[in-house]
Structure 1
Amino acid sequence: MYVFLPSTLPSLTTVLDEGRVPVPVAFAAGTDDEEAGYEAMYTAAEESLRLLAADPDAPRRRVVLAANVADHLVEEEGREGPDVIRVRVTGESIPYKRLASAHIDDEAVEADIAEAVNDPDSDAADDHELMWYALQELRHLLD
């Protein structure tokens, strides 16, 4: 199953250093529809805003990691809308090798993301698309 994991840039540094992703919460598409996958990714991005609110020193950029996880390791926790499922991956972490990609805000939108962190009801982040990164690009992105 393809799952989307909310994160932050400091957490991403830890992922790269430790070779694993802690999995407090994840999101998955409730259908095979591509649009549902998109919605699941942006639901994880909303959760990333909450992670940013808890870490005032983190750069104001949403981070979503996409991972391929065996279906039997994924437990449904509830619905986040008609096409998105909140899931928990069994175990304490997902190995780095299970990651497929990262989706991260561009630096240019940090002010809008900061506004969205400070006011979750604002639509400041709504018009910003996450940028796609291959795993081999992540170390360069963080340097």
Structure 2
Amino acid sequence: MRVYIPATIAMLRDLESNGEFRARSGTAFALTPALREAYVSGSDEELEYAALLDAARASLRLINAEEKGEPRRAVVSADVDNVTLRADLDAAVVRLDGPVALSQIAAIHVDSAEAADAVSAAAGVIDAADLGDEDAEFVLGDAEDHELAWYAPQELPFLLELM
């Protein structure tokens, strides 16, 4: 199953050092049966993109929790076999049973430098947006207007070197 794992730049640095990725609390997002039911229509590609966007939003929470984190959303796409569906948390949430090896990673998605200010602002209001604050939701939308860039796993060292 293709999963989308929220990350930070610091977590990507750990991936490069250790050769495996550890999702915070084992949480990832995927095209699950519950996600498919939540949408009236949509191709698999569109629903996979919805799961990716959920992971990007979760990345904001991770950035907010880091003391000196770099303000760029990051998502790791990986193909894994063993996941537990967690529709009790949200339609796209799955729980991974352990670390993800670099060989399982299909792609890495990261904000460009131009998104840093919007991402920093959004990370600071993510909890308020989740609680329905319309002003916070507007700030969040500014960050989500930025598309994540796609990188192949073998490009990770070069990506991190340029940061």
- TM-score of the two chains, using structure 2 as the length reference: 0.80
Matched, 1:42 2:40: no
Larger Rg: 2
Matched, 1:7 2:22: no
By how many angstroms is 1:79 displaced? 6.1
Matched letter for residue 69 of structure 1: V
Q: Which has the higher helix share?
A: 2
Mean CA deviation greater in 42-51 or 24-33: 24-33
How many residues matched?
138
Matched, 1:55 2:66: yes
Residue of structure 2 equivalent to 1:89:
96
Identity %: 33
Post-superposition, which runs of at least 4 consecutive aligned residues in structure 1 deviate over 3 A? none
Q: Which has the higher strand share?
A: 1
Matched letter for residue 132 of structure 1: W
Partner Cα distance (2:89, 2:14) in 1 = 28
Deviations 1:56-109 (A, max 9, x none): 311100000000011xx111011676xx5200111x311111000000000111
- TM-score of the two chains, using structure 1 as the length reference: 0.90
Residue of structure 1 equivalent to 2:132:
none
- SS of the aligned residue for 1:65 comes to strand
- Structure 1: give runs of 5+ residues left out of the alignment: none
- SS of the aligned residue for 1:6 comes to strand
Does the Cα contact within 8 Å between 1:79 and 1:85 map onto a contact in 2? no
Does the Cα contact within 8 Å between 2:102 and 2:153 map onto a contact in 1? no
Matched, 1:75 2:81: no
Matched, 1:118 2:127: no
Deviations 1:95-125 (A, max 9, x none): 1110000000001110000010112222221
By how many angstroms is 1:142 displaced? 0.5
